[in-house]
Structure 1
Amino acid sequence: MILSMLARRPVPAVAGLAVALALPWLIYPPVAMDIACWALFAAAVDLLLGFTGLLSFGHAAFWGGAAYTAGLIALHTGLPFPAAVLGGALLAALLAVPIGYLSVRLRGIYFAMVTLAFAQMVYFVANQWRDVTGGENGLQGIPRELFGLDLSDPFYFYYAGLPFVLAGFFVAWRIVRSPFGRVLVSIRDNPARARALGYPVDRYKLLAFVLSAALSGVAGGLFAISHGFASLQEVYWTTSGQVVMMVVLGGIGTLWGGALGAALIVELNDRLATAGFEETGIITGAIFMLVVLVFRRGIWGTVRHLLASRAGASRAAAPEPSDNKPANSDTLSDARA
């Protein structure tokens, strides 16, 4: 499946794969795993925001719900961690069905606020259901079982978990380039026209919502297994705000921009925390404001736009064929006529 992506987009796909494989050699492996998880989370949110036009502030429910589910499966069943991650993704998808069904009929800020309200309900349940979730203490000591292999070293676990991230990116990439993805873009641009053409708009939105939640669940479950614990922070509304900020920094509707935004935010937070600086929100907020003011399309979106503009200008400035060159097939057809 990755080969088809490499064939269609060889340069960015090869570059992204090379960076992903080299990342734990360049930075601290647990931070590299965090970047990978948040990058997939950002791609899932961008699938909904950038390609469907729905801003959700409730995706922490799916990220955190999957984190708790994966942790519970790993703790109480002894199954290998891939099964725990997939179980978390399934829970996130199932949770998204009723939330999405009640939310997708709304638009704009109303949709965002309703999803935020549902996410806070999940946070309340996680906080109160202490016998299962551990309450404020969370789930601790989540194992990384994989058929007897020793994955206690974060370096090795990164490469064990990376296939989930790559598969998640491939699924998101395949969705946005399928006929289904083109319908989502048309709904984003003009839902009334899409409805007039006979597309069940709410049904498409609901399916996009569930797919986005499932990918968020993969990222959240992998994040919990990587850290060995799941806490209330994973289902708190600030988690939703942080991933939206990553998408905006990288570029809405670019899919790959969220990975760049995730790398920037996670690495910056790690360096500030290592330096003993506690008010990391001040720095990240200032960078967010700067990027929004200078790069209106986000970092990746701006770079892509500049490259496309330069390529268009080069084609426009190219000299036209001279008269002594062979005529094209249309000209020959006109001459015979």
Structure 2
Amino acid sequence: MHTKAIRLSKNGGPEVLEYVDVEVGEPGPGEARVRQHAIGVNFIDVYFRTGLYPMPLPSGLGQEGAGVVEAVGEGVSHVKPGDRVAYAGRPNGAYSQLRVMPADILVKLPDDISYETAAAGMLQGMTVWYLFNRTHQLKAGETVLFHAAAGGVGLIACQWARAIGANLIGTAGSNEKVELAKAHGAAHVINYNTEDIVQRVMEITNGAKVPVVYDSVGKDTFTRSLDCLQPLGLMVSFGNSSGAVPPFSLGELASRGSLFITRPSLGAYVATRTELEAAAGDLFQMISSGKVKIEVNQRFALADAAQAHIALESRKTTGSTVLLP
């Protein structure tokens, strides 16, 4: 059967994204065919499009979506036709009306959570889940620094930290974004275009600095992030929206007080079915309870995926962005 999808045959700017007809067949062993109702747009999609993260071409794009199972292949028992499902993870190919995909990344979607909420929240929400539960166990009363606090991951992190009772110091690039992060639960927000991040962190913490920095910005913030850490502090570098972190000397960690550093990604934390169910279950519970609201602030037609990328890369977006097939 025919369906519409976004494909790219070469790396480059948003213009390489093509809206084309593709053929979708029956699911093979371990696969499911899903008719999508909403598709998440994330910065990782930009990295694959530009070639920062290499992938074989031609290819689809996108790692997150929600919809209804139409058919399942041999050996698939955890979902069945008619089930509402959501997913986040490889392989790329979410930018499509219909797709045949590995069934092992699908989780059942509770009835009280919409397709848009799930498509916008799975990747970003499970990212916050592992950052605050696995990479570092965030505790009530703890003060941490979180860059890009008004972005998709950031707004979820602000709310999640508030629910835990932790003090999240956010950074953002405009006064509007500062207010947005505060409204979502950040204890303090630093405007990195008008304020010195390290100096403000010193002031907020009375010179103590923070035990953990969560940094998805990369190149532009890396050194300042290290400078905000207490001795034995943890640098969590989980993205690079400003570009990849350049090579650095391990001595930089020693001179700042025996710092730890990790470069995590979601896949390693939800590698088993048990881990995936736990992560998604905790996320759905946070959403259903009202403690975390997924803010879908931008919607684009699937055909306009290139426009969604332009908006994301120009830092014009807040919260989450979805494509509607």
TM-score range, shorter chain: under 0.3
Greater relative contact order (CA < 8 Å, ≥ 6 in sequence) = 1
Larger proportion of strand: 2
TM-score (norm 1): 0.23
Larger proportion of helix: 1
